[in-house]
Amino acid sequence: MTILESIKVAAVQMVSTSNMQENLDQARYWIGRAVAEGAQLVLLPEYFCLMGLRDTDKLAVREPMGEGPLQAFLRESAREHGIWLIGGTIPLESGEPDRIYNSCLVFDPEGQCVARYDKIHLFDFDNGTEVFSESNTIVPGSNAPQVFRAPFGDVGLSICYDLRFPELYRALNEAGLIVVPSAFTWTTGEAHWEVLLRARAIENQCYVLAAAQGGRHDSGRRTWGRSVLIDPWGEVLDSVAQGPGLVTGQLDSEHLAAVRQRLPALRHRRL
């Protein structure tokens, strides 16, 4: 575990459509905006590349690991701007014809892929009005919790529905920053989004950066948005409500260390 040094980070909020090229153009624009504001690490939202009319639409744009236009876009964007780019999620081949991995890839400033996390927890939800079943089209990841080490410190990876499973975050080796690319529904986001994010920041005494989908999509689905940066004391440092936008902020290594020193809860664990 390494403590974060100071770095400026950004989370991109999008309202992705069923047109992949349109989404890549939007992501390119917001990455450029984030870099112009001084961000050295940029996080894209879950499904930034495609929010299809049907859940199965993502099968048509799946890629083998290491190849394809989506990975090329992420690689080239990271290299062009000299940033750490966390690519929300993209669909990668799973070996099954009707299901993919929902994968988060991390690219360093040279454009090298340095980490991959396949979403472990799949969102199946039915309240009598809305029905979602990710397990129909996604294979759950089997890889261990993923932390990548950068010059500024350790960063832990998670995706959307993972947020409800605190044991995953405990396994992220006390990373100083945890990222959460997401596409929370309006219903579940309104009820639980911010409280869960703040809880993960407080209990792990770390910064949490969440990039969300936030608006009405082509399919009629409505996502909650509220992309946010939260500090290790649970304070919201920046957020954006609905629509495309950008959350930015400076991670303060001294503040992180002070929180962990004043209240050493991570050292007090007994279970």
List the catalytic residues: 46, 119, 160
Exposed / middle / buried, residue 142 (Cβ in 10 Å: 0-12, 13-18, 19+):
exposed
- Of the candidates 225, 178, 174, 248, which has an alpha carbon nearest to the alpha carbon of residue 45? 225
User: Residue written as tokens 């499973």?
Assistant: 165
Q: Identify the residue whose tokens are 């996080």.
A: 43
Spatial separation of the C-alpha atoms in residues 216 and 56, rounded to whole Å: 19
